[in-house]
């Protein structure tokens, strides 16, 4: 409804704006036309005034000419006849100019008649002058006859007629000029009115747009706050879920591993293996969800380090040899001969993708084989594009499901999760990790015949100078600390995890104390000396972050603090380090990982 209203108001504004603009243009056109009419009428008035002036001037000249002639005849004064020829010529020229100034047909007829009368007057004057030279008395008699007076009267009447016509025309022009001037004023006022309306409309549209923008900005801020709150709630939920699942899972997997080290009969081993498998499957599900959360949050960074491609592939395949043997499925690795040994890229992400694809292939293959084929699509001196194929003879994927197999929470069948386990996130995560490395991934499959997943990733070829990529471990110093000089402080609130950590440390021959929260740990550190701290994060009274800050800022201790946390969300490791912790290990804790960390920071062989 709002959208339709917006379209309606926009159309109305456009029509109104266009109408006012057209009217304004029309008013401006009328104004210009009226101004031109005023200018034209002004020119006509000026021309009429000039014509009237010329008529009076010619009339005066004719009368003056006649009076000079009469004066000469009556007085005999020769000076009155000086320049008479030139004077007559000027009068004729003025008549010609008079015709140019008068566009009125009636005036032109009157002027022509006036010229005829003037010519007759000139002939009469010439006759008088001639008679005056022959017989002066005769010339006087001609004057007394009244012919000259009659001609002059006709001339004056014609002058008056021309003048009357010009006066009527002058009044008409003056009236039209007044009307045009009034029209100019009206048009000018209308132009101001419509210009004001146009400006007012623009200002209204502007203010309306500003108000709308401000409203949208406020709505956007509210929406953004809600989205941030929702994201915070989601992150908090994921953190709590991770913690609540991983904490007991750490104890389940840890104690089960210790149980497997004891003497068990076949039935007990089967039960222990079932527990171990279930725990690992549950952990895999949690890890998939957390990995997907990291990718969506943009917290996955692709590294570019040097690694041995052949060693990595062989290591990954070795991980699945036991599973393949148990299922009686053949597992083969084929690498083309011209594949580079050392490349620059992210070995961790490549391993993660391969584990996902190979694990899926073995999961859905009950007989036959799984082949990992590595080929080179393109290579030059510095770059190489590698194609990885995982081919199986498993259950395959139906044609209608292939297009959505990489979507999150999607599996080939609705009962796949129940039959084989998993979240349906694995392939989605693999696809995103491939794309983060500027690669592509695809699949071909025939139902009940098998599937082929392949992906391509571009890498840089590393120099062959450093062959020992795996030798990045820090060499241990010649002398290592003795186990008897090492004391560990375990800060953990969960009883089962306290016992599990204690059993591990005992196995390694290390002395230790256990505190159930951060506050007790800080008090313990005031009296006792420890070489390393294993610090849980979520604890009552004082959590791991607060305890670490207190140890660094108040107690001024720089001993290694390893975060042992069930939180495994994006940025958790960085958060731990920002509070002053030395390193990070997520629960469930793998025994080898914890042993390696302690060995690394204490320079001791465990």
| Nearest CA-CA partner of 316 in 352, 284, 341, 285 | 352
Q: What is the mean pLDDT of residues 538-557?
A: 92
Q: 390 near 253, Cβ under 8 Å?
A: no
pLDDT digits (tens, 9 = 90+) for 504-514: 898 888 999 99
> In CATH, what number does 483-602 get?
3.40.50.2300
Residue 218 confidence (pLDDT) above 60: yes
Give the span between the Cα atoms of 537 and 247, in whole angstroms. Answer: 11
Q: What is the mean pLDDT of residues 233-259?
A: 74
Q: What local confidence, expressed as pLDDT, does residue 567 receive?
A: 64
| Distant-in-sequence contacts of 312-319, Cβ < 8 A, 24+ apart | 312/347, 312/350, 312/351, 313/354, 313/372, 313/374, 315/351, 316/351, 316/354, 316/355, 316/358, 317/358, 317/372, 319/355
Q: What local confidence, expressed as pLDDT, does residue 259 receive?
A: 85
User: Is the Cα dihedral 52, 57, 60, 65 positive or negative?
Assistant: negative
Query: ∠ CA 21-26-30 to the nearest 5 degrees?
Result: 145
Q: What local confidence, expressed as pLDDT, does residue 243 receive?
A: 67
Q: 475 near 490, Cβ under 8 Å?
A: no
Give the span between the Cα atoms of 481 and 224, in whole angstroms. Answer: 54
Give the span between the Cα atoms of 285 and 425, in whole angstroms. Answer: 9
Which residue did the predictor score with more confidence, 125 or 369? 369
CB neighbours of 388 closer than 8 A, spacing ≥ 6?
A: 353, 354, 357, 372, 373, 374, 454, 455, 456, 457
Q: What local confidence, expressed as pLDDT, does residue 268 receive?
A: 84
Q: What local confidence, expressed as pLDDT, does residue 423 receive?
A: 46
pLDDT digits (tens, 9 = 90+) for 132-172: 777 777 767 776 777 767 777 877 777 777 777 777 777 77
Confidence of residue 414 (pLDDT cuts 50, 70, 90): very low
Confidence of residue 92 (pLDDT cuts 50, 70, 90): low
The C-alpha torsion from 389 through 394 and 399 to 403, rounded to 10°, is -50
Q: 98 near 58, Cβ under 8 Å?
A: yes
Q: Which of 83-97, 179-193, 215-229, 478-492 has the lowest mean pLDDT?
A: 83-97
Positions of E strands within 270-409: 305-308, 330-335, 342-345, 369-379, 383-392
Confidence of residue 190 (pLDDT cuts 50, 70, 90): confident
* Residue 473 DSSP code: S
Q: Is the peptide bond before 588 cis (omega within 30 degrees of 0)?
A: yes
Q: Percent of the chain at pLDDT above 90? A: 21
Residue 280 confidence (pLDDT) above 50: yes
Residue 582's H or E segment, with its range, is none
> In CATH, what number does 304-472 get?
3.30.565.10
pLDDT digits (tens, 9 = 90+) for 554-597: 999 999 999 988 765 556 777 888 899 999 888 878 888 888 89
pLDDT digits (tens, 9 = 90+) for 497-506: 888 889 889 8
Q: Taking the CA atoms of the chain, what radius of gyration do you get in angstroms? A: 57
- How much is the pTM? 0.47
Q: 365 near 422, Cβ under 8 Å?
A: no
Which residue did the predictor score with more confidence, 439 or 128? 439
Domain boundaries, the chain: 2-208, 304-472, 483-602
Q: Which of 251-265, 397-411, 546-560 has the lowest mean pLDDT?
A: 397-411
Give the span between the Cα atoms of 428 and 431, in whole angstroms. Answer: 5
Q: What local confidence, expressed as pLDDT, does residue 553 receive?
A: 92
Q: What local confidence, expressed as pLDDT, does residue 294 receive?
A: 66
Give the span between the Cα atoms of 595 and 600, in whole angstroms. Answer: 9
* Residue 494 DSSP code: -
Q: What burial class does residue 126 get, using C-beta atoms within 10 Å of its C-beta: 0-12 exposed, 13-18 middle, 19+ buried? A: exposed
- Average of per-residue pLDDT values in the chain: 78
2-208, CATH topology level: de novo design (two linked rop proteins) (1.20.1440)
Q: Which of 18-27, 235-244, 273-282, 587-596 has the lowest mean pLDDT?
A: 235-244
Confidence of residue 528 (pLDDT cuts 50, 70, 90): very high
DSSP, residue by residue, 41-90: HHHHHHHHHHHHHHHHHHHHHHHHHHHHHHHHHHH--GGGGTTHHHHHHH
The two three-digit tokens of residue 281, written as one number: 């499957």
| Nearest CA-CA partner of 292 in 410, 429, 406 | 429
Residue 474 confidence (pLDDT) above 50: no
Ramachandran category for residue 541: left, alpha or beta (phi over 0 → left; psi -120 to 50 → alpha):
left
Neighbours of 308 (CB within 10 A): 19
Q: What local confidence, expressed as pLDDT, does residue 487 receive?
A: 92
Residue 249 confidence (pLDDT) above 80: no
| Distant-in-sequence contacts of 190-194, Cβ < 8 A, 24+ apart | 190/27, 190/31, 191/24, 191/27, 191/28, 191/31, 194/20, 194/23, 194/24, 194/27
Give the span between the Cα atoms of 94 and 90, in whole angstroms. Answer: 6
Are the folds of 2-208 and 304-472 the same? no
């Amino acid at each position: 409804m709002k959208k339709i209203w917006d379209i309606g108001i926009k159309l109305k504004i456009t029509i109104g704006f266009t109408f006012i603009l057209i009217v304004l243009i029309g008013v401006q056109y009328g104004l210009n036309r009226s101004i031109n009419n005023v200018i034209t009428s002004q020119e006509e008035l000026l021309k009429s005034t000039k014509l009237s002036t010329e008529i009076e001037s010619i009339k005066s000249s004719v009368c003056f000419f006649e009076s000079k002639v009469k004066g000469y005849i009556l007085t005999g004064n020769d000076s009155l006849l000086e320049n008479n020829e030139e004077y007559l010529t000027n009068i004729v020229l003025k008549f010609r100019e008079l015709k140019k100034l008068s566009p009125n047909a009636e005036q032109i007829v009157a002027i022509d008649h006036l010229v005829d009368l003037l010519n007759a007057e000139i002939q009469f004057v010439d006759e008088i002058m001639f008679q005056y030279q022959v017989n002066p008395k005769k010339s006087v008699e001609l004057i007394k006859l009244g012919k000259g007076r009659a001609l002059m009267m006709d001339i004056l009447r014609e002058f008056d007629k021309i003048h009357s016509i010009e006066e009527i025309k002058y009044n008409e022009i003056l009236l039209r000029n007044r009307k045009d001037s009034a029209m100019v004023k009206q048009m000018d006022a209308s132009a101001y009115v419509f210009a004001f309306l146009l400006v007012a409309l623009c200002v209204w549209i502007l203010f309306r747009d500003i108000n709308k923008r401000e409203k949208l900005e406020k709505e956007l801020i509210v929406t953004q706050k809600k989205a941030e709150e929702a994201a915070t709630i989601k992150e908090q939920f994921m953190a709590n879920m991770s913690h609540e699942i991983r904490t007991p899972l750490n104890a389940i997997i840890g104690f089960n591993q210790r149980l497997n080290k004891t003497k068990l009969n076949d039935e007990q081993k089967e039960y222990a293996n079932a527990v171990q498998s279930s725990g690992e499957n549950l952990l895999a599900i949690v890890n998939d969800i957390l990995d997907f959360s990291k990718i969506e949050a943009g917290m996955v960074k692709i590294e570019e380090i040097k690694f041995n491609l052949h060693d990595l592939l062989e290591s990954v395949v070795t991980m699945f040899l036991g599973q393949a043997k148990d299922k009686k499925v053949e597992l083969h690795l084929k690498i083309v001969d011209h594949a580079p040994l050392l490349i620059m890229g992210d070995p961790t992400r490549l391993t993660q993708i391969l584990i996902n694809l190979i694990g899926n292939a073995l999961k859905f293959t009950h007989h036959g084989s799984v082949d990992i084929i590595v080929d080179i699509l393109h290579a030059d001196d510095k770059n190489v594009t590698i194609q990885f194929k995982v081919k199986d003879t498993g259950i395959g994927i139906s044609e209608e499901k292939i297009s959505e197999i990489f979507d999150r929470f999607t599996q080939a069948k609705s009962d796949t999760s129940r039959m084989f386990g998993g979240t349906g996130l694995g392939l989605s995560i693999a696809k995103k990790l491939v794309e983060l490395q500027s690669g592509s991934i695809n699949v071909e499959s025939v139902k009940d015949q098998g599937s082929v997943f392949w992906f391509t990733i571009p890498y840089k070829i590393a120099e062959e100078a450093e062959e020992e990529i795996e030798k990045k471990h820090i060499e241990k110093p010649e002398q290592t600390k003795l186990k008897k000089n090492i004391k560990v402080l375990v800060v953990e609130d969960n009883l089962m995890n306290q016992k599990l950590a204690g059993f591990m440390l005992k196995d390694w021959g290390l002395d230790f104390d256990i505190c159930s929260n951060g506050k007790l740990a800080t008090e313990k550190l005031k009296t006792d000396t420890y070489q390393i701290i294993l610090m849980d994060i979520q604890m009552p009274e004082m959590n791991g972050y607060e305890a670490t800050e207190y140890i660094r800022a108040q107690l001024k201790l720089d001993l290694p603090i390893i975060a042992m946390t069930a939180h495994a969300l994006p940025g958790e490791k960085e958060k731990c380090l920002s509070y002053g912790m030395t390193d990070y290990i997520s629960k469930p804790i793998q025994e080898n990982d914890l042993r390696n960390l302690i060995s690394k920071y204490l320079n001791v062989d465990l």
